[in-house]
Structure 1
């Protein structure tokens, strides 16, 4: 790690910081408030807690928009004479660098949401990551939404019996009122995503509906990977590494379905274990070569 680098891996559930030989965790990003002041506050907090000055601040941020990807504005917000450089990127970039370093291939990061990033010889492609309303196929939210759909189909007589119904009744004893309770809940997205865990458990236990949802989720995630790789492939014989990270891959059946789809691909691909995590990718931003395909997706400002 380059000395003096303060690296930030910022997500909605938590913000990880590596600085001065320490790993620190801060509360997650608040999406209802401006982003850059939050990142500046985290940088100041990390310097205060470690007692080590920072020469550079690097950050990979979940859901970073084009408008927010302004390293110069963040440098001004930090307003620290010791900080001479700020590097800002979407967390799909830092997830890739953490998992595959300088390799070529695709990383699919699937938790409550999902985003896939592929890097070829000279091209980059991002697939999905469009949020729970417009995308995130195969994510924890997607799985939870499919689970609740299956529960209500059984309730109506439109679908087969499933052990997921008993799980739903633990939260909503009267299923006829469940949709009202859910639609009025401020945390309805996380409530829906929370059903991904019982889907994984019940799929292992043999519930056919949960198994079907799990297999389809693995297929969706593999489809995103293949779509991204086709967009960056330079020639038919190009070899790619594929790495899967995130909570949904804790499901053995989902991993198996995902791996099966990848193995059947006409692309030359190999599943590999991640080299590191998002925070490692945030550290790597400090040394990202200007000619790297991902360099165009990174905002850099220097004092």
Structure 2
């Protein structure tokens, strides 16, 4: 009697989200079993060459090995890495990471993406529309499935208008105006700022030297939202943030068809004081687009892209600065 051979295991997929707060990694299979996750709070370094592929691999390798031992998934044949700053700082990743993933894990197909792309796919999947990714910074990304468009995402010094750092900075400016007795100040925000940062004359010295200024500024955004229901200055800051966010969404949303619009990111946790005016602004600026809740986050988006790549159904537009796909030749994983 012939004993049937055991079924071939489903191909593994690896999904990575590299952002300002560290790495999040998921390992699963094309059977769409819920992937297992690991995370690190150490952000990948950025240097003269841009995002450092060696530092990324130093963190990623032990996390993938731990996930592989936990799940029994051996070779992730497809990998997707979504990285903050990939569009402008991704040169070294494009040059070196696909080969490194092939050597270490036997990965055959690699997609390197801007984190805005993985946020988009996590929120809307492969549908035309626009996504506002709102956290410490802010970027809007849209597609008609033939090309990507982005707006803002230029950092807290030049843009990110309506993002967490922008809201926090505006709130602290209103606090300082109240401290000075200038018009446009808010006593409520001054009180909150002094509770959080101490006396206002010392604020510049505590804030300006810090390398994490955007995160520190964004940490005050929840205080602005807390004051908004009873403070017109705080409410006005959030209304202005909502206008900026809607401006960016309108700049990238397809003008034809039935696009969807979603908002994702930590800024959604501010709740009604921001989301109510944002809904009003989006209705006014994009009356033809359908507002939907984000289905998932950037890790979910990276998983979706990996699944589609693995089975050959990816329809998203390719773009070296937004979604860069490489097919590696077969190679032996280290230790094989």
| TM-score, scaled relative to structure 2 | 0.82
2:278 is the counterpart of 1:270: no
2:169 is the counterpart of 1:152: no
- Structure-2 separation of matches of 1:101 and 1:207: 38
Q: CA deviation at 1:17?
A: 0.9
Q: CA deviation at 1:156?
A: 1.5
**Distance of aligned partners of 1:17 and 1:122 in 2 relative to their CA distance in 1, 3 Å threshold:** same
- Structure-2 separation of matches of 1:106 and 1:263: 14
**Distance of aligned partners of 1:80 and 1:257 in 2 relative to their CA distance in 1, 3 Å threshold:** same
2:188 is the counterpart of 1:188: no
Matches within 5 A, 1:162-173: 162-173=187-198
- Structure-2 separation of matches of 1:92 and 1:263: 23
1:63-107 Cα offsets, whole Å, 9 max, x none, are: 214452544510222322622222100011111111101111100
- Structure-2 separation of matches of 1:174 and 1:277: 38
**Distance of aligned partners of 1:36 and 1:185 in 2 relative to their CA distance in 1, 3 Å threshold:** same
2:98 is the counterpart of 1:75: yes
Whether the aligned pair in 2 keeps the contact of 1:107 and 1:245 (CA below 8 Å) is yes
- Structure-2 separation of matches of 1:117 and 1:302: 26
Matches within 5 A, 1:236-247: 238-247=257-266
SS at match of 1:268: coil
Whether the aligned pair in 2 keeps the contact of 1:96 and 1:117 (CA below 8 Å) is yes
Which of 155-164 and 256-265 deviates more?
A: 155-164
**Distance of aligned partners of 1:31 and 1:131 in 2 relative to their CA distance in 1, 3 Å threshold:** farther
- Structure-2 separation of matches of 1:183 and 1:248: 23
Q: CA RMSD in A?
A: 2.1
SS at match of 2:182: coil
- Structure-1 separation of matches of 2:176 and 2:144: 43
Structure 2 partner of 1:292: 315
Whether the aligned pair in 2 keeps the contact of 1:61 and 1:89 (CA below 8 Å) is yes
Structure 1 runs (4+) greater than 6 angstroms displaced: none
SS at match of 1:295: coil
Matches within 5 A, 1:50-199: 50=67, 51=69, 52-53=73-74, 54-69=76-91, 70-78=93-101, 79-80=103-104, 82-159=106-183, 160-199=185-224
2:52 is the counterpart of 1:35: yes
**Distance of aligned partners of 1:185 and 1:243 in 2 relative to their CA distance in 1, 3 Å threshold:** same
Structure 2 partner of 1:22: 36
> How many correspondences in the alignment?
296
Q: CA deviation at 1:177?
A: 2.4
- Structure-1 separation of matches of 2:193 and 2:249: 32
**Distance of aligned partners of 1:67 and 1:170 in 2 relative to their CA distance in 1, 3 Å threshold:** closer
Structure 2 partner of 1:301: 326
2:226 is the counterpart of 1:201: yes
- Structure-1 separation of matches of 2:286 and 2:161: 22
Structure 1 regions of 5+ residues with no counterpart? Answer: none
1:97-136 Cα offsets, whole Å, 9 max, x none, are: 1110111110001010111101115232101111111100
- Structure-2 separation of matches of 1:32 and 1:123: 27
Which of 282-291 and 171-180 deviates more?
A: 282-291
Structure 1 partner of 2:12: 4
